Each structure stands twice: as C-alpha cells, then as structure tokens.
Amino acid sequence: MLHELDLSISAGERVLIAGPSGSGKSTLLRAIAGLLQTADHGDLSGSVQIGGRDVAEAPGRVGLLLQDPLAGVVAETVGRDVAFGLENQQVPREHIWPRVDAALRATSFPYGVGHPTSALSGGETQRLMLAGMLVIDTPVLLLDEPTSMLDPQAAGEVRRALQAAVQARGCTTVVVEHHLEPWIDFADRLVVLGHGGEVLADGPVKQVLEREGPGLAARGVWVPGLAPPTLVPIADELVRPSEPGPVELLQASDIVVTLPASLTNPKAARRVALDGVAAALHAGRALAVTGVSGAGKSTLVSVLAGLLRPTSGEVRSHPSLSTRRGNQPWRWRSRDLAARLSWVPQTPEHGIVTSSVLDEALASARACGRDAEVARNRALGLLEAFGLSHLSAASPYHLSSGEQRRLMVAAALAHGPYGVLLDEPTVGQDRSTWAVVLGAVSAARTDGCAVAVSTHDKATVAAVADETVRLERGRRAV
C-alpha cells in the first residue's frame, strides 16, 4: 500500500492527496488517524506523530471521514448519530443539540434529527457523516472522497460548508480526491501518490499541475481542464452474453415502491421511494438513471434487477426468459435471476460472497453452471483488463474501494448475463480505471447486453447512455 513514505504537514495546512486507484490514499489517512494497528493483514513499520506525540497518544485530535459512509453509522436516528462524538466528549446535553442542528444545516441535510439512519441513500449517508465530522472541533480533519456519492449541487454545498468550517477553525485538513478541480482554490498543497505508494509530486497545487499535469494525467489523475479519456476497448469474448437474448429484455410500468421509514422498525410509517415510474431494458442499449441524492435511483435499479418487489405496478421479462415462477424477476430463484441479470451494488462490499478475488469473479458463473474453462478465461481476462490480476489470490476485503468496485463489475460480466445493472460503478475510479470500467460496459452493450447505470457522473452518461431516466423525489422528471 505505502512504501517508505515520508510526509510532513504543518499545523493549519490544507493538503490535497491524489493518485491512481489502489495507490494507498485511504491507507495514508488511516495511518494519520492511528488506525493501522487495527489492520488484520500486511506489515507495518514507521511512525506517525501529531504535535510531536505518537498518534496513539493523542486521542480525540483527529476526525476521519471514511470512504464508505455506511461504515461510520453508529446510531438508529440522524440526531443521535451526529451527537455521538459530542456525547463521548461529555459535552453538556444543552450544548449538544444546537451544535447537531447547526452541523446538519451546514451540510444541507434534508431530514430532521429523528429520521432513521437506515432509511438514507448513499449520498444522504455521506452528508450525515460530514455533519458528524463538523460537529466536533478537532484540530486535524481527514476526508476520504467526501463528496463522491453526491450530485453536483449537493457536492458544491457540502464543499462550501467544509471549507467555511476549516477556514473558521484553522484546523489541519487532508482531503483525498480523484477529481481535483473543485478543491484547487481551497488546498495549499497537492501530494500525488504513485502505484507503489510513493510520492510522485508534492508542492503548491497550481504549480504541480502546471509543471506535471500531462504526466499525472497519464498516471490516472483527473487533471482539471482535460476531457475525459477515450474508453478502453475490451475483447468481445470477455463481456458478451453467454447466448443471444431477446431484444426487449424487461419492461417496468407504473412502478410504486414504498419502504419502511426504519428498517429496524417495520411498523414505522412508510415512505414513497418510487411513484409511478416506467423504464425498460433492451439488448444492445444502455439506460442511465440520474437525479439528486435520494431521488430513488438505487431503488429503481434494484427493482429492475429483480432484487426488490415493487409495492404496485408491473415488472415483466420477455416470455422467453420465464421460469417456472413466471416472468416477474423478483419471483425468480437466485440462480435463475443471476443467470439473466447481474447487479453491481453501490457499496461494493455488499456484493462480496467469497474469500478471494478470482473466486469472486467466478462466483456467478459457478452458481449458474457455466462452462468452467470459458468462465475462467473470461474472469482472468477481465481481472487483467481491470488491473486486478496481481490480486487474484487476495481477499476482496483487502482491496481498496475503487478496486472492489472494479471487481464487482468484473464479477457481473464474467458469466455473460443478458443484462447488467450497475449502481454508481465509477465512484472512486481514476482516469485510467474509469476508461476501463466504462469500456467494458460499452463493449457489453455493443455485444447485445442490456445495461442500466445509476450515476451522478455526467461524463459516464455521455460515454455510454442511449437513454436517460431522470428522477425527482421518486418520480420520472419530464
């Protein structure tokens, strides 16, 4: 992950960390936070000091926003979750709730303190975690891709709130980001890591970009001002459906989905996640599902993938795909569903079912009874294309978030389904891996696979989408 890294950060300095996927950016933040002692694999040497003291001797001085926001949720309601840090600091109760309310307002959080944390979208959870960071006045603030799951408007609001808080407090701030442009005027310094965890560049942001921009872009850094890269071509035999499927794969009409406001209390009042939405999957075409955080994108993708039964409305496959349980995907057995439709979850760890990267890529092929040699060749080819072949024996849980997401895409394509549905597949990807992931998705579509992609990324929509469904508060926008 990191190799003989030496880094000194001055008090009050604002540092932007960039680098290709898997270069150790998140590991660096965990090291600064003193969390590497909890790792269950790898070798650890060296030291981290804050204010001249070992980080282990400075509890409460570092606030860390994790790359996976769900990993930071600790309470059943929004207010209690944000208040958790203050309660641990034994802040008087009468001072806690005004600070909680102020932190939620600063992040433009859409719900009140009593809203269940289990009923939040990925982007809403990310805003909640940011509120939990802002409510505690720590001298060191570490942010791991703090707006990666937010729509552009919400991301801008959150960045402004973060930057205002940092300027007011004068705290030392380290931000890990792939997309640098929104942070250029905020950061004092840019540190770029290489694939081996070494420092490739270090200095004032604009100077580093002016001096080394083209070289950094070639290494995967999203250098501002450059157009998105050309998609990487992927061999047809790695991504095409295992056999030709029907042209109209799936039709969804007048879909309504209501969900419990709390997953831990099914009797709680229900909320409308989708309201009268129609969509279709066609062979050789890609559907983009867009909208602000919490608009219902993940819910729609889950319905189309057969993972969620709609409250009302119809989702029906082409008759040729019917099983003994009919042609409604949510009724199908897991094996039949996986053979027809693949799903890439927004949180990649939710899709992991095996103990090695190669086994993960082969899991659906084995469950569906695909030819073992063909499946292995496809899986190995996809892992090579996605830059994961050297990790084939590793545990999927030991991969970076970006690597895990690429693994989930490889696993979704390796067995040749008729359709693949991906929820935010490009989050955490550098320029190079973005081009590979969408190159594979585009090749699958060209070879007859039906594709649906939930995304905030306009470049992703432009690169692969044939049709777009934009959702607003659970409804299809006109």
Q: What is the mean pLDDT of the chain?
A: 91
| pLDDT at 106 (0 to 100) | 83
* Distances in whole angstroms, Cα of residue 40 to Cα of each of 37, 44, 331: 8, 11, 39
Report the distance separating Cα 272 and Cα 475, nearest Å: 10
Q: How far apart are the first and last CA of the chain?
A: 47
Q: For 454-477, what is each residue's pLDDT tens digit?
A: 999 999 999 999 999 999 999 999
- Identical fold between 14-218 and 236-476: yes
Q: For 88-110, what is each residue's pLDDT tens digit?
A: 888 999 999 999 999 898 888 88
Report the distance separating Cα 476 and Cα 130, nearest Å: 29
Pick the CATH number of 14-218 from 3.40.190.10, 3.40.50.300, 3.40.47.10, 3.40.50.2000: 3.40.50.300
Q: Are 402 and 22 in contact (CB under 8 A)?
A: yes
pLDDT over 60 (residue 263): no
Report the distance separating Cα 372 and Cα 377, nearest Å: 9
Q: For 265-274, what is each residue's pLDDT tens digit?
A: 656 677 899 9
Which string of DSSP letters, residue by residue, matches 242-262?
A: SS---SEEEEEEEEEEEEES-
Q: What's the average model confidence in pLDDT over 288-293?
A: 94
Q: For 12-68, what is each residue's pLDDT tens digit?
A: 999 999 999 888 899 899 888 888 765 556 677 788 888 888 887 767 788 888 877
Q: For 371-384, what is each residue's pLDDT tens digit?
A: 999 999 999 999 99
pLDDT over 80 (residue 179): yes
pLDDT band at 262 (very low <50, low <70, confident <90, very high): low
| pLDDT at 134 (0 to 100) | 85
Only one residue has tokens 């929004």, namely 78
Q: Kindly give the residue spans of alpha helices, DSSP state H, lying in 170-283.
A: 205-218, 236-239
pLDDT over 80 (residue 76): yes
Domain residue ranges in the chain: 14-218, 236-476
Pick the CATH number of 236-476 from 3.40.50.300, 3.40.430.10, 1.10.760.10, 3.30.460.20: 3.40.50.300
